Amino acid sequence: MATSVKKNKKITKTPGGITGKGFVPGVCPNPSGRPKGRSLTTILQDILERKVELKDPFSKKAIKRPIKEQIMVKLIANALTKGPQSLSAIKEVLDRMEGKSLQRLEHSGPDGDDIPHEIKVSFVDAPETKKKPTTKKKKRGS
């Protein structure tokens, strides 16, 4: 709240600041909250839940199942037959859906011992400084 001074010097508070368009106490500026939207992950989840009919690489029969299951079957089939040719696209989908896997790092010294560390502190005497004698200036005209 802004303050304004009237002619009789009484201070009053103006709701909404100087312009009256600012925040007013007790009034929520966005009562409905953040607008609801669909994230890319939500859209991807919806697409992966759709059922499609594809030929199963193992049984050679057409089977209708969710896309995410078809991807997993294809991943296993490619791993067994073709190698890592289409692995990057499937990896991207899995990272988006399940989260990236953690990479654990170990920080240790030689032979798994603690990392050697040493802190050296040394104090050095400061050189003596010569102080200049202070002189008082006399005021003129006194």
Report the length, in residues, of the chain: 142
Q: What is the pTM of this model?
A: 0.39
Are residues 53 and 63 in contact, defined by beta-carbon separation less than 8 angstroms?
yes
User: Average pLDDT of the chain?
Assistant: 76
Distance of CA 44 to the CA centre of its chain: 21
Instruction: Tell me: pLDDT of 138 over 70.
Output: no
The CA dihedral of 84, 86, 89, 92, to the nearest 10 degrees, is: -20
What does the pLDDT read at residue 84? 64
Report residue 142's pLDDT band, with 50, 70 and 90 as the boundaries: low
Q: Can you say whether residue 62 is alpha, beta or left, with left for phi > 0 and alpha for psi between -120 and 50 degrees?
A: beta
Convert the pLDDT of each residue in 63-108 to its tens digit.
999 998 888 888 777 777 776 666 776 677 677 677 787 877 777 8
Per-residue model confidence (pLDDT) at position 94: 74
26, 68, 24: which is closest to 46 by C-alpha? 68
